Amino acid sequence: MSSELSALVPVMFGHAAFQQLNAGAELGLFELLHADGPLPAGEVAERLGLSRRSADVLLLGTTALGLTTVTGGEYRNGAPIAAAFHDGLWPVLRDIVQYQDKIAYLPAADYVESLRTGQNAGIRHFPGTTRDLYSRLAAVPGLEELFYRGMHAWSQLSNPVLVAQGDFAQARRVLDVGGGDAVNAVALARAYPSLRVTVLDRPGALEVAEKTIADAGLEGRVETYAADIFADPYPSGHDCVLFAHQLVIWSPEQNLTLLRKAHDAIEPGGRVLVFNAFADDDRTGPLYAALDNVYFTTLPFRHSTIYRWMDCEEWLRAAGFTGVGRTPSPGWTPHGVVSGCRPA
């Protein structure tokens, strides 16, 4: 049998690979090894309250995947997990793993159905009759908090490229359209002490946002504004409009509508910024965008997808923005910012 077929193992068992990571996070294996490792399997079993059989199965899984390593019968965290702890990113990654487990995982099994029908078939896992995930969050107790904990983590992981945008040094007041729990608004306000930010979102999201803002002590500079991003007018007085993890949800036509609304709302000379993950212009990758697209295809909305940089740049030009450009993230996720200017 051809040895090339072995490349199928991590793909064929992709769901199982995720479950090894999820179990290590959920059961506290990585935290235990970070605090007290290296440890023998018997002690891992005892400290995690698992049978020896369960600990052996888990450690085989995490070790074969490089999430843990073993030397002389003692286990420690593998390079990617150790790096996450070293960089202070473990709590962020743990929240992302929980998001994948509790929100994205079951709907992903509806991928074939979603491709066949062109619908986000995985939304059936969340009660409601509306067609997008966000308007269904409030129907399940605790789901809004769970969703925004995960979304907060995705943004925290990827928003350094947004915060580093030189544009904010000149901006006075940002409108964060669909700003969620205010994770990006707070990061920007912290980085630019004279900047004011308005977070526009649904009332349910803004309840979570108000807590984030209060926890950061930024009530004076970050405010909330309840509105529908399509149906309601945008508030005036902003010289920058931000769409963070927003244009990946909607169709190209809807994105053009949103960008035209932004163009009308921004003061002349102001800027629009689109921040999210992007796919390569030649549609060959990156792997992160290709795999994350299963979530976008099955869950948020029937048109959700990770678009190419060039698609977004074309929308900005079509909406009347000039000086359109892109800033890819230097990090390991394919996030970046596409920006444009409303002519003065």
For the CA atoms of 284, 150, 326, 235, the dihedral, rounded to the nearest 10 degrees, stands at: 140
Q: Which amino acid is residue 324, in one-letter code?
A: V
x/- contact string, 139-168, with ligand SAM (CB under 6 A)? ------------x---x-------------
Q: Is residue 244 a contact point for ligand SAM (CB under 6 A)? A: yes
Question: How many angstroms separate the CA atoms of 53 and 97, rounded?
Answer: 24
Kind and range of the H or E run holding 315: helix 309-318
CB of 338 to ligand SAM, least distance (A): 15
Q: Which residue is nearest to ligand SAM (CB)?
A: 180
Cβ-based nearer residue to ligand SAM, 36 or 228: 228
Q: How many CB atoms lie within 10 A of CB 4?
A: 7
CB of 183 to ligand SAM, least distance (A): 5
DSSP string, 238-272: EEEEEEES-TTTS-HHHHHHHHHHHHHHEEEEEEE
| One residue of 229, 241, 299, 319 binding ligand SAM per CB under 6 A | 229
Q: How many CB atoms lie within 10 A of CB 188?
A: 26
In the three-class reduction of DSSP (H, G, I as helix; E, B as strand; rest coil), residue 275 is classed as strand
Cβ-based nearer residue to ligand SAM, 171 or 208: 208
| One residue of 26, 36, 228, 281 binding ligand SAM per CB under 6 A | 228
Cβ-based nearer residue to ligand SAM, 242 or 266: 242
Cβ-based nearer residue to ligand SAM, 30 or 234: 234
> Backbone phi, then psi, for 251, in 5-degree steps?
-75, 165
Cβ-based nearer residue to ligand SAM, 41 or 258: 258
Omega cis (within 30) before 91: no
Report the first-to-last Cα separation within the chain, whole angstroms.
66
Q: Is residue 340 a contact point for ligand SAM (CB under 6 A)? A: no
x/- contact string, 110-139, with ligand SAM (CB under 6 A)? ------------------------x-----
CB of 21 to ligand SAM, least distance (A): 22
Q: Is residue 202 a contact point for ligand SAM (CB under 6 A)? A: yes
In the three-class reduction of DSSP (H, G, I as helix; E, B as strand; rest coil), residue 43 is classed as helix
x/- contact string, 176-195, with ligand SAM (CB under 6 A)? --xxx--xx-----------
CB of 132 to ligand SAM, least distance (A): 6
Residues with Cβ < 8 Å from 213, sequence gap 6 or more?
182, 185, 186, 199, 219, 222, 223, 224
CB of 184 to ligand SAM, least distance (A): 5
- Residue ranges binding ligand SAM (CB under 6 A): 134, 151, 155, 178-180, 183-184, 201-202, 205, 228-230, 244-246
